Amino acid sequence: MKRLTTILLFLAMHFSWAQESVKKDSVPASGVIEKLFDTADKIVDLVSGDSWMVIPAVSYSPETNLGFGIGALKVFRHREGQSTRPSTLPISLLYTLNKQVILTTELDLWINGNDDNLKVLLELANYSFKFYGVGNDLGTESEELYATKYAHFRINYQRQISPGFYLGPRYEFRADDIYKTEIGGILDTDQVMGSNGSRISGLGLVLNFDTRDNIFQPKGGSFHQVSLMSFQSFLGSNFRFSQYQLDLRKYLPIHDKQILAVQAWYSFTAGNPPFQQLSLIGGSDLMRGYFEGRYRDRNAMVYQAEYRVPIHRKLGLVFFGSAGQVADKVSSFSLNKLRYGGGLGFRYQLTDDGLNLRLDLAYGNQSSFYFGLDEVL
C-alpha cells in the first residue's frame, strides 16, 4: 500500500508537469466532446431551478451499496448579497440495496456578512451495518452484521470573534435501537458497550479558523477546527464520556489552477462511550478504501492529501492518498501500525459556486468506489 500511495503521488505530479505541454501541442477538443459537455450542462440546467435543484438521488458506498431515492438541494445566499458565502440545504431520502432507509437533511447557513454560521443536521435511518470489533488489528473473521434504527440530531452555532476565528456551542443527540444481531457474536453476547442500543446527549464548544476562499472548492487558505464534547447523564445521555477532535486542513495552489489539499485529523475519546461513538476510520470522508468503522478504538488519527487537476470545462481529476490508525491509548500510536489507502476520482461542477458531483475509486483493504456530492477535504 505504501508503494501504491507513492505511485499515485508520482502520477499526480507527472500529470501536473505534462498538462502544460499538452495544452500547447494538442489540437482543439473535437466537436463530439464539446457536444457531450454541452449536453451535460443542459441536463444540469434542466434540473436546477431558481431556488431548488430536485433530482432522482443515486448514491454508492461500500457501507450502503447502491442507493436510490429523491434529493433536493438549495444553494442560496442570505439577503446581504454576493459577499456572503453560499448557504446550502440538501434533503435526501434513499433506499439502498442493503435494505437501508435513510432520510437526511443538513443546513449550512451563513448570515450577517459571514459573521454568523449555523449548521443543523437531522438524520433518521433504518440501517443494517457491519461491526468488526475494537482495535487496530482485526481480521475479516471478526465481521458480523447488525441492524439499528437511529435518530441523529446536531446543531452548531458559531460567531466570528476575530478575522477567521469562529467560536460557538454545539449540541448533539443520537438514539440507537439495535434490533438485530448475529447469534453468538460480539454484540449478541454484550461484549462491548452499546450492544443493546444507546442514547447519547452532549454539549460542547467548537472553534474554527477558516480562511478558505471558497467553501466548496478552496483554492487557497486554511480550515482548522477544534471540538470539545461532553456527554453526561444530566443531559439525558445513558453513557458518560467526552470526545475531543482536531481537524487541520490547508489548501495550496500549485500550478495552473491545480490544488493540493492536505488534512491531519485526530479524535480522542475518554470515559465510557458506546461502540457507535468510538473514534473510527474508514468511509467516504476518512480513508476511502476502508469500510466505515472497519477499525475503531478510543483514539484515531488520519492523514490525507488530494491533488486536484482541472481537465476540461467543468470536469476535473483528483488523486488522493491517506494513512491512519486507531489505538486504545495515545502512547500506542506507532508509524509501523499505520494503514494506507489511495485512489483517484472525477469531479463535475454543478453550480457556479463550485459544488461538485464526485466519483471516487479507492483502494485500501478493499477496492471501493464512492458517488456523491461535494469534496472530501
**Residue 239 pLDDT exceeds 50:** yes
Alpha-carbon distance of 83 to 336, in angstroms, equals 47
Burial 39-60 (b: 16+ CB within 10 A, else e): eeeeebeeebeeeebebebebb
Residue 224 DSSP code: E
pTM of structure: 0.86
Contacts of 97 (CB under 8 A, 6+ apart): 64, 65, 66, 67
For the domain that residue 355 is a member of, what is the CATH number? 2.40.160.50
Tell me how far CA of residue 252 lies from CA of 11, 158, 261, in angstroms: 18, 26, 6
Range 244-269 average pLDDT: 96
Question: What is the pLDDT at residue 11?
Answer: 39
Place of cell 492518498: 321
Range 63-79 average pLDDT: 85
Range 81-91 average pLDDT: 85
Q: Where are the alpha helices (DSSP H) in the chain?
A: 2-25, 31-47
Q: Tell me if 171 sits within 8 A of 154, measured CB to CB.
A: yes
Range 36-54 average pLDDT: 64
Q: Tell me if 131 sits within 8 A of 147, measured CB to CB.
A: no
Alpha-carbon distance of 229 to 309, in angstroms, equals 37
Nearest to 94 by CA among 105, 109, 84, 85: 105
Question: What is the pLDDT at residue 59?
Answer: 78
Alpha-carbon distance of 194 to 216, in angstroms, equals 36
Mean pLDDT of the chain: 87
Residue 220 DSSP code: S
Tell me how far CA of residue 75 lies from CA of 79, 160, 353, in angstroms: 13, 22, 9
Nearest to 264 by CA among 246, 251, 278, 281: 246
Alpha-carbon distance of 267 to 277, in angstroms, equals 11
Residue span of the structural domain in which 17 resides = 2-373
Query: By mean pLDDT, which of 21-30, 89-98, 243-252 is the weakest?
Result: 21-30
Alpha-carbon distance of 181 to 143, in angstroms, equals 12
Classify the C-alpha dihedral 360-358-113-116 as positive or negative: negative
Chain segment 153-168, per-residue pLDDT in tens: 999 999 999 999 999 9
Alpha-carbon distance of 230 to 9, in angstroms, equals 39
Question: What is the pLDDT at residue 366?
Answer: 87
Q: How many domains in the chain? A: 1
Question: What is the pLDDT at residue 155?
Answer: 98
Considering the chain, what percentage of its residues have pLDDT values greater than 70? 87
Chain segment 176-207, per-residue pLDDT in tens: 999 999 999 999 999 999 999 999 999 999 99
